[in-house]
Each structure stands twice: as C-alpha cells, then as structure tokens.
C-alpha cells in the first residue's frame, strides 16, 4: 500500500475518487463490472477493501494492462464482453468509448443488410422479442380530448328550426300568464298611459 494518497486516480482516461473502495472504484469504468474487478484484484494480489487513492503507480499500470489484454492474464472467455467479433473473429473486452462505437457500428450494419433486426432498429421497436403491447411506448399520450360533450347540429335536444327554442313566449302586447314574471325586454303598449297622468286628468 502506498503512503501517498491521491484524491483523484486516473485509470484509462477515467477520473475515480480516491475515497472509494477498490471494487466500487474500478466498476466506475464503463465495461468493468463487479466480478471482473474482483478477479482482477485477486490476480494482482490487491486487497479489495483498501481505498483506491492508495494505489501506487505500478499497480495502476498493471491494472490498465489487464483491462487492455485480459486474455494475457488467463481470464476465461466468458468474462469478455465481445466474443467472436464480426470483423476479426477474436474474443475481446471493450471498455469506455469503444463499447458505444462498436454498438453503433453493429446497428448500422444490421440496417444496411435490411435484416429483421435492422428494421426493428429503424422504427425504434423492441429487437429481442419483448412484448410491445403495454410497455416500451414512446411519444405523447393518446387519449380523449378534455371538455364537455358537444351535440351535433340537428341532433337530439336541438330545436326543429335550428334556432333557439323559446318555451311559451307571450305574443307582443299580451300580458304574461298569472304568476309569471314579465320579460326583461318587454315594452309597454303604445296606448297605455302612466297611472300618475290619469289621476291629474
């Protein structure tokens, strides 16, 4: 263990905080999982419970060598994440930006071949046989628009003439029925005189 402590340890272009444990810190590198990190520490005889900030320069370089060439340290093939590469046919282990680059190339190759997987990728659908009826939906929700019910013209409840229906409207000049309030816009008859004028006469 090194006596010098580093707050940031740089491994394969990744800055890892020095206060993290070895297993947690190494798994921060994309492409390195918990089991891969544990096996790597067992090969290098490094305690998985020590802080990653206490690593020496030689230990960091040996970790990088194993990550770049795990087959050289007798790692089993099923540990690797890129077996039987399409172009080279070799077993490799990809880390950091190489993972996204190879995945993008694989998808583009499927599209150019017009395979079924390529069609699924083009339309943004599930590729590995998952159900799509109730999961994996994208975009906005499709539903009923909010608001009240709108009746069609000439439908149920609409007046026969197409205009507004007025129930029991009194004729012009006719007095309203008993108990009914007069209309707001009703005008008095032309020959009707005010009560005060009749008393003066």
pLDDT in tens, 73-111: 888 889 899 999 888 889 999 999 999 999 999 999 999
Which of 17-26, 33-42, 173-182 shows the lowest per-residue confidence on average (mean pLDDT)? 173-182
Res 107: pLDDT: 94
Residues 42, 121: Cα–Cα separation, whole Å: 40
Res 180: pLDDT: 55
User: Which pair of structure tokens corresponds to residue 172?
Assistant: 């012009």
**Three-state SS sequence of the chain:** CCCCCCCEEEECCEEEECCCEHHHHHCCCCCCCHHHHHHHHHHHCCCCCCEHHHCCHHHHHHHHHHHHCHHHHCCCHHHCCECCCCCCCCCECCCCHHHHHHHHHHHHHHHHHCCHHHHHHHCCCCCCCCCCCCCCCCCCCCCCCCCCCCCCCCCCCCCCCCCCCCCCCCCCCCCCCCCCCCCCCCCCCCCCCCHHHHHHC
Which of 14-23, 28-37, 158-167 shows the lowest per-residue confidence on average (mean pLDDT)? 158-167
Res 152: pLDDT: 72
Residues 175, 121: Cα–Cα separation, whole Å: 79
User: Which pair of structure tokens corresponds to residue 90?
Assistant: 């070799």
CB-based burial label for 38 (10 Å; 0-12, 13-18, 19+): middle
Contacts 24+ apart (CB under 8 A), 34-42: 35/79, 36/70, 36/79, 39/75, 39/79, 40/66, 40/67, 40/73
* pLDDT higher than 70, residue 192: no
* pLDDT higher than 60, residue 132: yes
Mean pLDDT of the chain: 80
Res 71: pLDDT: 87
* pLDDT higher than 70, residue 116: yes
Res 165: pLDDT: 47
Q: How confident is the model at residue 173 (pLDDT cuts 50, 70, 90)?
A: low
Res 27: pLDDT: 93
Res 86: pLDDT: 86
Q: Domains of the chain, with CATH numbers?
A: 8-78 (1.10.8.50)
User: Which pair of structure tokens corresponds to residue 8?
Assistant: 């940031």
User: Which pair of structure tokens corresponds to residue 176?
Assistant: 């309203």
pLDDT in tens, 44-75: 999 998 999 999 999 999 999 999 989 888 88
The average pLDDT across 167-184 equals 54
Q: What is the percentage of the chain residues whose pLDDT exceeds 70?
A: 68
Res 104: pLDDT: 94
Residues 171, 189: Cα–Cα separation, whole Å: 12
- Of 201 and 42, the structure prediction assigns the larger pLDDT to 42
């Amino acid at each position: 263990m090194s006596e010098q402590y580093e707050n940031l340890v740089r491994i394969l272009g990744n800055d890892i905080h020095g206060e993290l444990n070895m297993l947690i810190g190494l798994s921060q590198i994309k492409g390195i999982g918990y089991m891969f990190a544990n096996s790597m520490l067992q090969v290098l005889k490094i305690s998985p419970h020590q802080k990653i900030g206490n690593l020496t320069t030689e230990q960091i370089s040996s970790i990088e060598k194993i990550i770049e060439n795990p087959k050289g340290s007798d790692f089993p093939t099923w540990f690797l994440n890129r077996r039987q590469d399409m172009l080279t046919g070799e077993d490799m282990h990809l880390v950091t930006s190489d993972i996204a680059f190879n995945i993008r190339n694989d998808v583009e190759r499927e599209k150019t071949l017009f395979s079924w997987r390529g069609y699924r990728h083009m339309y943004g659908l599930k590729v590995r046989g998952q159900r799509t009826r109730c999961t994996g939906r994208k975009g906005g929700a499709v539903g009923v628009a909010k608001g009240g019910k709108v009746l069609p013209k000439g439908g149920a409840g609409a007046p026969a003439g197409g205009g507004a229906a007025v129930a029991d409207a009194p004729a012009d000049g006719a007095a309203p029925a008993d108990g009914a309030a007069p209309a707001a816009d009703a005008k008095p008859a032309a020959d009707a005189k005010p009560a005060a004028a009749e008393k003066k006469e």
